[in-house]
Structure 1
Amino acid sequence: MKVDLYSDTVACEFGHILSWLDRNSASGTYGCFDRRYWSWRIGDMPNASLQYGLYPLSLAWKYSRASAYKKNTNLLEWIEAAIRFTIRIQNKNGSFDQFFPKEQSVGTTYYLLSAMINARELLADSINAELLSQFDDTISLSSDFISKHDEQYAIISNHIALFAYVNLKLGRLRNDRGFESRALEQLKLIFHHQSNEGWFLEYNGADPGYQTQCIYYLAECFRITGDERILDRIRKSIEEFLLYFFHPDGSFGGVYGSRNTEIIYPAGFEMIRDRIPCCGDISGFIHEGIRKKTIVMPDSLDDENLIRLSTNYMVAALYAGASKPCKRDKQQMPFEKKVDKCFSEAGLRVRSNERYYSIVNFRKGGVYKVFDKKKKILIGEDSGYFFATSRGVLTNQMLDDSETIMDDAGISLKSFFYRTLDEVPTPLITVAIRILSLTFFRFLAMVDLFRLLLVRKAFTGKKKYGICLERKVSYHDKGIVVKDEIRKDARMRVDRQLRGRKAFSVKMASSNYHVAGDLVEIRQPIVDIDRLNAMNHVSMRYEIMVS
């Protein structure tokens, strides 16, 4: 049976991508992918990162198995309109804006450059010479901008891997070894921060979902350079770390990661599966996940990530080909074996026997997932405790250096409660940013300072409060037993416990997408709030056992 799971899955999303594009040739925003801007007229500027949509549409025009799109003249006309609009919204210094005027985002400029360079390769012989020349000028101007500026607010490995990939492409496009040298420095930075445990740094920890995206960009870098050292780093990241976070129920990643992501980007694994054998097992897992819809699917995503994941699926299809779906070699994934693996730097412990598979993050308040291996279902998941107080919502689900004692029998940890980082823009903040855009943001140094402060407030800044959790996780033959002791300062009052199937301490743009496993009904521990306030401590015990 001939199937192309990636192409067939993405073909269903072309209509969405085209609907975001302003295809009205009489419109002043003809070629804009930001429908909220051009159709709903909600924002006061287009989100430039959405112009990335010209890349998947270029792939569809060139390679699509859906005959309606391949070499279609209307589609080519719309892609050309998207190119013209992209040229039009570029800042004078070559940068692009995503969130606010004069943002001059390094990350967005790199991201859009990757789309422009690849679209150019696909369309160079098909678009008119004048537009191609203008497109080349736009790429050159953006490449000049990124050659002078870096993303400075955090170590985000998947971003830096993208930057290295773009610079390698630019080095060949512009015949300039300076870009290649810059790419090598960026790769060194990623590998310098790669943990001895295999994972790549994402803000302040390990995140399996984003690691798959990082692996894709690194695989592209390997394909361009042929440098075996890059492949060795990828191999280490997969074999020694990533393999442990594919689950028996067909899901992947989640709350135990530093950024809570569950998206899998498959293209990197398809590109190198002939060099790293376990990538074939991962590809088989992904194929099965697509068929059974146990992983995050493109149709669950918003516009930005749908464009990104759809493109990745299309690239994966080019390497996988229209062939039989990859079948996994049974008993090769860690969840199919007996395992007791501790990643002390990441704060993760994976324990598996013939009955269950468990993952605990002891640096993130002891959050966990437990699976029944025989039934292939999730039987336990803890996202931490969330309490409403006069000082805001407090939670123990925050990465910190918890006091931890570990032995063969289990894990004992102590974690503190922090205020959740879930603020959203207010009218006052929006007005203030627009005023800054008209004044101080003319100077890029001021924008960089503002972005650094924004990231600290939204993602990495945290304040400890007078509540702590002492948790003991005990491993047994049929599952785990959790004993919790919550203690608080006598001056602290808890109003109520916030309970739900999923909860997160930090809002991340690429997390909290729906997967089938979200519908599994999991019993959540109930805290006796009255007792906690009266006695300043409360104890609980619960079991997660295979039936």
Structure 2
Amino acid sequence: MNKDIFARLALQQIPKILTLCDRNPHSPTYGCFDRTFWHYKVVDFPSGMSQEFVWPLALAYHSAIADNPFYHQENLRAWVEAGIIYAARSAHANGSCDDYFPYERAAGAAAFSLLACVESYQLFDLDNYEVLKFFERRANWLADHHESGQLTNHQALIVLCLERVGALLQTDRWDRAKAKRLERVFSWQNEEGWFQEYEGCDPGYHTLTISCLAQVYQSRPDDRLKQVLEKAIELAAQFVHPDGSYGGEYTSRNTYNFFPHGFEVMGREIPVALQINDRFLQGLDRGLGPCYADDRILGHHTWNYLLAWRDFVPERPESLRGRAGRVWLKQAKLLIDRRMTRDEGVQDATLAGDRPTPDVELYLALNKGGVFKLFKNGKLLLSDTQFSVKVLKGKKFKNAVGHLVDDYEVEVREDEILIQGKLGWAKQQQMTPFKAIVLRSVMLSFGRFFPNLIRRILQKMLITGKNKAPFDFIRRLRWNGQQWEIIDELIADSWNGVKAVGIGADQTSIYVVMSRTFQPGQLQPWLDLSDRVQSLSPGDVLRVERRF
């Protein structure tokens, strides 16, 4: 398997990262990576998360891959050091930083950027007392701060930060805090193997948690941590699609995230980890990787890919092979169904005693109205994110969707699956001048003292809060031995105000930083059903039948 794919894709992002950086040593914002702040001047504070970009630059400097134009370029060393110093000087007095609004004191941004700065500081063997004191302040703040919401990847990330800063400063000051955080990570791992991410299982963020925990294990091997990682890695193997893609809209946070480094770290002890990476590499080689070339989220995958290239295990096990059967994660409410069609080739192989790879694979979210991905012969056949209805309410349009996480009525049989419930109103709030003024006023006054309260309110508005829409749906999936039949029904007491109905390949509604990225599977056309709605009377049912 060609490990250079990881490095090449990562190095393609370095010019953009350098564009985001203020590289002028005479500038008051020298080293700032938030271009909207230092260059466009359209925001009034820099995002602390942006300083994470020092790590991809440091790794690019040290990566001796063929045709790497950034290898041992001394300017990168200067810009990385400037970025670390800017992170220190732009932080709050207690070491925290903001991400989306002033005085937010965002744990995720503080942890990601701290880890990046510490790792880069050590890669270049820097010597700066001001920076070391900053690392200490931020580690103290992270050790004592507890954000709202259950985000296991943040907890694992903070454990790794405290481990790295403690080792650098040669202190055990944060050992108790690390132990408590790690215990929380363990308690947030479901018995099915997945880690809690807001409302359930997100295989993408799951790989980030694995990546952080693997690095902690690398520093301090521990039997319990290894057991947690084994369970998590075995679960991750279920979500690598036959074409090498990973995750998607059927997961709790709608991400295509895949962080490969942790699988390389654990690969010598848990061989299936390397099989997972090999299949993902095949997908990248086919051009099936998601695009994360966004000003805010570009850094995460760039440094993780470069670490995976650096720590790549040369000896690889045989390829990961799927087996026919069903994986039903009842608590995650996710179902993976792998089948073989009744064709002569499969029958001959079965009679000969072979275990043929299933040629039809279904990945289904029972908690999201039956959102699914369907693969045939190793290729994506259909991605489906349920009904979407555009409704005119007064003078404004609202969007009712069937893909929000909810407690739907579900029946699962061998050859038939039923999901039914109500559509919910999509979250489509946008920032307005008035809202911006209110948020700034709140955060510049009493809100600065209660950032977690503001965060909880925003989480409910943008992520976890639910409002039912006046539409019912029934989705049936039936297996006839050769193919899946999908029968959908949409029911409304009144069709007045309904202007459009469709089913898309990649619709999502909640706010998740790493979601709504482009992935080639999203090129599937929208199934527009709007013309059929015009002829419906009150009480009529819109019925759609498809076979694949």
Say yes or no: does 1:212 pair with 2:192.
no
Name the residue aligned to 1:59. 59
Indicate how the Cα distance of structure 1 residues 352 and 302 shifts in structure 2: closer, same or farther if over 3 A, else same.
same
Q: Give per-residue Cα distances to partners, 1:81-108, cap 9 Å, x unaligned.
A: 2122212201112111111222222222
Match of 2:245 in 1: 251
Whole-angstrom CA distance in 2 between matches of 1:16 and 1:107: 22
Q: 1:333 aligns with which of 321, 329, 339?
A: 321
After superposition, give the CA deviation of every residue in 1:453-485 in whole Å (9 maximum; x if it has no partner). Answer: 001110001111221111211123222112222
Verify: 1:351 aligned to 2:337, yes or no.
Answer: yes
C-alpha RMSD of the superposition = 2.2
Q: 2:262 is paired with a residue of what secondary structure?
A: helix
What is aligned with 2:519?
515
Show the counterpart of 2:349: none
Partner of 1:137: 133
- Offset at residue 201 of structure 1 (A): 0.9
SS at match of 2:471: strand
Cα deviation digits, residues 143-191 of structure 1 (max 9, x gap) = 222222111x211111111111112223333444342222222222122
Cα 1:403/1:67, change in 2 over 3 Å: closer
Residue identity in the other structure for 1:39? H
Is the 2:335–2:363 contact (alpha carbons within 8 Å) kept by the matching residues of 1? yes
Instruction: Assess, with a 3 A threshold, how the Cα gap between structure 1 residues 204 and 501 changes in structure 2: closer, same or farther.
Output: closer
Distance 1:150 1:294 in 2: 37
**Number of residues of Structure 1 aligned to a counterpart in Structure 2:** 525
Please state whether the residue corresponding to 1:40 is helix, strand or coil.
coil
User: TM (normalized to structure 1)?
Assistant: 0.91
SS in 2 for 1:5: helix
Out of 172-181 and 50-59, give the one that drifted further: 172-181
Write the distance in 1 (CA, Å) between the matches of 2:9 and 2:108. 28
Aligned to 1:382: 384
Residue 332 of structure 2 aligns to a residue in which SS? coil
Following the alignment from structure 1 to structure 2, what is the Cα–Cα distance between the partners of residues 394 and 254? 20
Secondary structure (helix, strand or coil) at the match of 2:534 reads helix
Q: Which of 338, 361, 365 is matched with 1:361 structurally?
A: 365
Report deviation, 1:26. 2.4
Structure 2 unmatched runs, 5+: 341-358
| 1:402 corresponding residue in structure 2 | 408
Written as runs of structure 1 = structure 2, the 5 A alignment for 1:58-97 is 58-65=58-65, 68-97=69-98
Aligned AA (2:35): R
User: Separation in 1 of the partners of 2:529 and 2:327?
Assistant: 27
Q: Which of 257, 274, 282 is residue 280 of structure 1 equivalent to? A: 274
| Residue matched to 1:484 | 488
The amino acid that maps onto 1:119 is: S
Out of 268, 271, 291, the position equivalent to 2:265 is 271
Give distance in 1, aligned partners of 2:60 and 2:500: 51
Correspondence 1:413 to 2:419: yes
Partner of 2:41: 41
Q: Aligned partners of 1:212, 1:317: CA distance in 2, in Å?
A: 16
Q: Is residue 423 from structure 1 mapped to residue 429 from structure 2 by the alignment?
A: yes
Report the alpha carbon displacement of residue 3 of structure 1 after superposing the two structures with TM.
5.6
CA, structure 1 residues 525+356, in 2 after alignment: closer, same or farther (shift >3 Å)? farther
Unaligned 5+ runs, structure 1: none
Tell me: CA distance 1:194–1:67, structure 2 relative to 1, closer, same or farther (3 Å): closer
Q: d(CA) in 2 for partners of 1:442 and 1:210?
A: 29
Q: Could you tell me how far 1:135 is from its partner in structure 2?
A: 0.6
* Cα deviation code 1:95-131 (max 9, x no counterpart): 111112222222221222111221222122xx4x4xx
The 2-side partners of 1:156 and 1:532 are apart by 44
Give the structure 1 partner of residue 352 of structure 2.
none
Cα–Cα, structure 1 residues 67 and 474, in superposed 2: closer, same or farther, change >3 Å? closer
Is contact 1:7-1:64 (8 Å) kept? Answer: no
Identity between Structure 1 and Structure 2 (%) = 26
85-94 or 176-185, larger mean C-alpha shift: 176-185
| Aligned residue number for residue 315 of structure 1 | 307
3-state SS, counterpart of residue 350 of structure 1: strand
Bigger shift: 262-271 or 471-480?
471-480
| Partner secondary structure for residue 367 of structure 2 | coil
Aligned ranges 1:98-117 → 2 under 5 Å: 98-117=99-118
* 1:9 matched residue in structure 2: 9
- TM-score, scaled to structure 2: 0.90
8 A contact 2:166–2:173 mirrored in 1? yes
1:534 CA drift (Å)? 2.6
Mapped to 2, the partners of 1:358 and 1:494 lie a distance apart of: 31
Amino acid at match of 2:379: I
CA gap 1:447/1:2 in 2 versus in 1, 3 angstroms:
closer
Do the aligned partners of residues 133 and 220 (structure 1) sit closer, same or farther apart at CA in structure 2, a change above 3 Å counting?
Answer: same
User: SS of the residue aligned with 2:281?
Assistant: helix
Aligned to 1:235: 230
Pair 1:191–1:492, CA change in 2 (3 A): farther
Q: Distance in 2 between matches of 1:2 and 1:367?
A: 34
2:166 alignment partner, SS class:
helix
Deviation larger for 255-264 or 108-117? 108-117
